[in-house]
Amino acid sequence: MKILLAVDGSECGDAAVRQVASSPWPGGCEVRVISAMEPPALMAMPETWGPPADYYDMLEKAAEGRARQAVDRASRDLQAAGGALRVTAEVIRGLPKEAILQEAERWGADLIVLGSHGYRGIKRLWLGSVSQAVAANAHCSVLIVRRPDLEPQPA
């Protein structure tokens, strides 16, 4: 079984890592940990005012560093949990909604696992939902993991 685990360094991504680490997978499972690094948006600026020449390079390096930390930490956590999972990790470029789906198809994933931030209302409308987009468009099964403190509380 090929499991694509998408992480972003957030507590929601950490919950997805814990779910994969604690699940009883069959022998021979491969886990590919990815973090989608969104390229910085380029903005047109007048010549008299603008960011330094290396501004976008600095933004991109910072985003890549955060993504690398996320996949490295997730990989260490999966390997520390033991089990027979074969773990690989990679930072990929692109919008997370698209990059996760493309990587899952390219790699031939049987399952995509990712966390949900649990955004509601206007925040969800403004920021979008990566987990919803992945679940709606994936060619394989999708497991969306929520943090326990985001679960609805009984009335």
Q: What pLDDT score was predicted for residue 120?
A: 54
Pairing of strands 141-146, 30-37: unpaired
The CATH superfamily assigned to 2-40+53-148 is: HUPs (3.40.50.620)
d(CA 17, CA 30): 14
Q: What pLDDT score was predicted for residue 48?
A: 61
CB 117 within 8 A of CB 144: no
Instruction: Give 10-residue mean pLDDT values along the chain (155 residues).
Output: 95 93 91 90 62 80 93 95 88 94 97 80 56 93 83 45
d(CA 1, CA 29): 5
Tokens at residue 67, please? Answer: 């993504």
| Residues facing 115 on adjacent strands | 145
What DSSP state is assigned to residue 141? E
Domain boundaries, the chain: 2-40+53-148
pTM of the model: 0.84
